[in-house]
Each structure stands twice: as C-alpha cells, then as structure tokens.
Structure 1
Amino acid sequence: MERVKAPYAAMAFAAAALYAASAPASKLLLAEATPVFMASFLYLGAGIGMSFVGLLRKNFKNGHKETKLDKGDFTYVALMIVLDIIAPILLMVGLGMTTASNASLLNNFEIAATAIIAFIMFGEPVSKRLWKGIAVITAASMLLSLGEKGSLSFSLGSVFVLMAATAWGFENNCTRMLSLKDPLQVVVLKGLGSGVGSFIVAFLIGDSFPELVYVFYAMVLGFFSYGMSIWLYVYAQRGLGAARTSSYYAVAPFIGAAISYTVFRDPLSPTFLAALALMMIGSYLAAFEGFSQKK
C-alpha cells in the first residue's frame, strides 16, 4: 500500500469497525421497532449526533476549513438521500427474515455493486484481480441466499439484504461525487434527510411508534454505526475512490458476523461456512491491490 494512501485506508477500516455492530444490534432492536422506524431512527441519530459534532468543531480555533455544498451538488445530494431511505428499510426488512450473521456477510455484496457501478458510471479502473474478487463475492452471496434446505429457491430475507447492498452501491457512488466537500455537512444532510424521509414513510403506512427508550437506543446506534462511520468513509473516499474504499470496508461483514454469532448463536451450516470461506477469498482479492494503478 502506498504510504500516502495509508491514512485513508485506516479511515475506511475504522468506518467498517463502527458499522459492523449495526446488523446484530439492529436485529435485537427490531423486536421492539418496525423496520421502517428503525431505519428512520438510525439515520436521525446519525444526523442529530453529527450536528452536535459540528457545533463542537466550531469551538476549535484552528477548525477545519472545508468546502461547503453548493447548488451544483443538489442532484447527488437528492439521490444520496433517496437511496439512503430505500437501502436501510430493505436491510431492516431482510434482517427480520434472516439471521444477523447471514445478513452481515451478505452486506459484502455492496463491494461488488459499488465497484461495478463505479466502473460503468465513472470509469474507475478495475484490475483483473478485483473482477475475480467480485465474481467470488457474488458466488458467495448467491450461496448465502439459497433456502435453508439448499434448494434452488432463494431466501426472501437474503434477497432484501442484497437489494439493500445494491442500493448502497449506487449511494456510495453518489457520495463519491461529494467526497471533496465537507464530510460533516454531507453526513448531517444524509442523516437528517434520510431519517425524516423514512419517518414519513413509517407514518404513512401506519407503523406503530416504539417506546422512547428503544428510540434512544436506535439513535445512539445510528450515531456511531452510521454517523461516525459515514464521516470516516467520506474522508477515505477522497484518497481511495468509491470502489477501493468499499473494498477496504469489506472487513465489516466479518466483524458483524462474529458479533452476531456470539450474541445469537446462530447455527453454522455447511452452506454458511462455505459461503464464509468464499467471502474471505473474494474480499482479499478485492481489498489488496484490487485496482489498477493507472491514473
């Protein structure tokens, strides 16, 4: 790894570690809150929490001088918010139908989705090694998506998680276009916009409002797993690009799966273990020298 890239890679890994706890923790909270309200409070926690971080930042004499968002960024901001309304709702629905460890590993499909979209839409160079990683990750995702009996039918919960990962792949590339702007402003807009949007959806479909204590827990989780994680992720994209940042972020699903197994003691089926091995191989191919060095 190039020396100049090391700080950005560290940010991507830190973002992954913070996000890793979101799947198992959300699985626990889904017993007390509907998927749409959970998605809302996770992002509201990120937006409100990072707003306070912004206020604290202003108290430093040598505060950061970041480039603010302008009218030219409106399209990407709007797409980012809409996709961040859709993706977490899909994930919460999927989590309610499958195990937390299964969902954690399936989140790795976001690497493949982000890289393919970055290649097609923005021309980011992708090496043969990364294409191999994408193929292996996709194969592992398909294996994880099979029904419990290993039939050719797909698990509905897994399909929802894969749809969420694809939506986040698009969202990562929208965020990429804002990576040179103030990350704090991006995260606050993302959190408040997506949180309010999901709240409106929950209200319109008649979801029951959870007890306030669980609202608080969800918002705290959102601040760390979404707010702080996204903030670091946006910074990392400045030096790595959307696809490569996502590849370093690949450690998150494995941490999440380990936490999920520890908490829920989900049975480790032969299919899950085979998919885990494939996911590890695919993530290694993607994360290390997965990108061409062409400028």
Structure 2
Amino acid sequence: MNSRFSAIFTALAAAALFGAATPLAKVLLGSMSPFMVAGLFYLGSGVGLGTGILLRRLRTSGSENGHHRINRAEWPWLAGAIAAGGIAGPALLMLGLSSTPAATSSLLLNLEGVLTAVIAWVVFRENVDVQVFLGMLAIVAGGVILSWHPGETGVPAGALLIVGACLCWAIDNNLTRKVSAHDAMVIACLKGLIAGPVNLAIAFATGASLPGAGTVGAAMLTGLAGYGVSLTLFVVALRHLGTARTGAYFSVAPLFGVALSLLMWPELPHVSFWIAAASMAFGIWLHVRERHEHEHTHERFAHAHRHRHDEHHQHEHEFAYSGDEPHTHPHVHLPITHSHAHFPDVHHRHQH
C-alpha cells in the first residue's frame, strides 16, 4: 500500500513541477522567443541531469553502471519518444501558439491526457475499468473548466497544430513506457540533451538571439526542475502505474500552474478555479481508491531495473551479492501464476 501511494505521489510531484514551470515560462517569454525558451528549458534539463548522473557515478563503485544501459532493441522506442515529444511536439505547439488565442490553447492542451489514455488503452491494451475511466473524465473536466474563458469564439487553424502537439506528447508518453524500467534520470537526460539543441537551432534559424547570462541561467534552472526532475519523476511513475493512470495524474499540472500564478500575481481566485480543483480532486480520489485484483500469469522474461527481493524478484545472483537493496542487475522472471492487487506496471502488462 505504501508503494502504491508513493507512486501516486511521484506522479503528482511531476505534475506540480511541470505546472509550476508554466507561469515562470510566461515571465521569460517577455524577453525571449518561444523556441529559445523551450531550447534553454530542455538544455538545462539535460545538462543538469547529466551532471547529477556523473556525480552519482563518482560516489558509487561503478559496479552497477553497466546494468543501466538501454538494450539495442529498446533504442527505437526511446528515439521515437524523443522525436515525438522533444522535437515535433514543441515545434507544433510554438507554431500553433503564434495564431491561437491563449485561452483556446490552454483548453486544447488538455487533450494530451485524453490522447495518452486512448493510445494506452486502444493500442497498447492497458487495462481500464469504469472507475479509472470516470476518474480520467473528472480530471480532464477540471482542466477544461480551468482553461475555459467565456467570450472566446471560434477555433483558429493553428488549433490543429496544437492538437498535433498533444498527439505527439501522447505518443511520447506511451513510447517512454517501453523503456521506463531503465534509469529514469538517463532517459530524461537524453531527451533534454537532444531536444535542447534542436529547439535552440530552430530559434537561431528564425532570427532569435541568445539573451543575457542571468536570463539563460534562470531559464536553464527552471528547465531542470520543470522539465528534467519532472520528467524523471514521470518516468518513475510510468514504471509503477502504467501510462494512462500516470497521464491522468499528470493532467492536474495546470492546477499547480494556476496556483503558482495566483501567488506570483495575487488576486482572488475565480469560482472556476475551485470547481476545477474539486473536479480534479474527485478524479484523483477515484483513481486512489481503485483496486484491480485477479489471478494472472507472468510469462518468463528478462530485464534489468532497480528492485528489491519481493514476490516478483525471487532469483539467484551470478555475482558476489552483498545483500544491499534496492540494487540493479539483469535478472530473469520465471513463470508464475498468482493473485494480488496491481497496476499495469513493468511486471503486469498482461492481457485481460
């Protein structure tokens, strides 16, 4: 039970950090082009996490470093995730924002959670029950209420580009799930180091210039927290909760963004804020009280990830084992049939 709530808290923490980056990005957009902001955010994420990974390895003996390597067969999944979520998504969003009112854009961005869940349920056959589905609807409804501005009429052509960006990020979320058993910091770092330079190249190609050192530092630090640490937590949540549920929790990010905006620019929250907060809280409550339990069979498979010797990890070691837990190494799961409450995590991606 504790691990269950820990995974949920991890997903919500990822949403909080990402949501908090939005009002900060609004401040930075006053002095930089959108592509420059995106590029510095991603670059700050990649450089910051890369530094953290290097320091972590220097503190350890290095005996586990090789076990964090992504297999050759998994690289296409990660490459697809980076291309869709780190390059195509931001490009489509920035192009769409140039001709779409802010209110309409905020409303459309709620589609990411919906599309993420639809792809997870339809394409990757992730299990869903009525309670989880209703919880997803409540969270998305809260996002719609939060971003709805009466008086805005019509959907401009740029809206299609924003919808395309949401689809790219939904694909990114589902492809990242395929490699979520690996080191989350490494995955997030690679995304930042690739997406950052690409977005900066677009910014420079469109005539943007690099701002002052102070602004660059502020943008990169914001990116480290709002993109880097947030994405790291998101990948960890994917590992334990599955794509649709993690995407649902992450959909509350706008609520944290609005809350921070109210602190930065104090004003009395509109009634829609409290209605949206109640709707999202209700959706989270439905997800938290979910209990999915049935007899299921684990097929034999091998992978490597950080683990403890629980009911799914009863294996021998082919090396001198010190007894430290958790630890990382390649291991084999033997076939087993049992029944217990579970999420569609890395060990429970079976059909129903």
TM-score by length of 1: 0.82
Which digits, 9 at most, give the CA deviation of each residue in 1:139-183, with x for residues without a partner? Answer: 5555666664154x2378887665544432221111111111122
Following TM superposition, by how much is the alpha carbon of 1:250 offset from its aligned partner in structure 2, in angstroms? 4.0
Following TM superposition, by how much is the alpha carbon of 1:219 offset from its aligned partner in structure 2, in angstroms? 0.5
- Which has the larger share of strand? 2
Aligned counterparts, 1:162-241, within 5 A: 163-241=164-242
TM-score by length of 2: 0.70
Which digits, 9 at most, give the CA deviation of each residue in 1:168-214, with x for residues without a partner? Answer: 22211111111111222211110011111112222233333333322
Distance 1:160 1:272, change over 3 A: farther
Following TM superposition, by how much is the alpha carbon of 1:22 offset from its aligned partner in structure 2, in angstroms? 0.7
In 1, Cα distance between equivalents of 2:49 and 2:184: 10
SS at match of 1:122: coil
Does 2:30 correspond to 1:31? yes
Q: Which amino acid aligns with 2:238?
A: Q
Aligned counterparts, 1:1-295, within 5 A: 2-61=1-60, 65=65, 66-83=67-84, 84-91=86-93, 94=97, 97-98=101-102, 103=106, 108-139=110-141, 148-149=150-151, 151=153, 153-154=154-155, 163-264=164-265, 277-285=278-286, 287-289=287-289, 292-293=292-293
Distance 1:106 1:278, change over 3 A: farther
Q: Which structure 1 segments of 5+ residues have no match?
A: none
SS at match of 1:123: coil
In 2, Cα distance between equivalents of 1:40 and 1:189: 14
Say which is worse superposed, 69-78 or 128-137, in terms of deviation.
128-137
Q: Which structure 2 segments of 5+ residues have no match?
A: 295-347
| CA RMSD, Structure 1 to Structure 2 (Å) | 3.3
- Which has the larger share of helix? 1
SS at match of 1:225: helix
The percentage of aligned residue pairs carrying the same residue is 32
Task: Return the index of the structure with the highest Cα Rg.
Answer: 2
CA contact under 8 A between 1:50 and 1:223: conserved in structure 2?
yes
Distance 1:218 1:141, change over 3 A: same
In 2, Cα distance between equivalents of 1:56 and 1:180: 21
Structure with greater contact order relative to length (CA < 8 Å, sep ≥ 6): 1
Which digits, 9 at most, give the CA deviation of each residue in 1:208-236, with x for residues without a partner? Answer: 33333222111110111111111122122
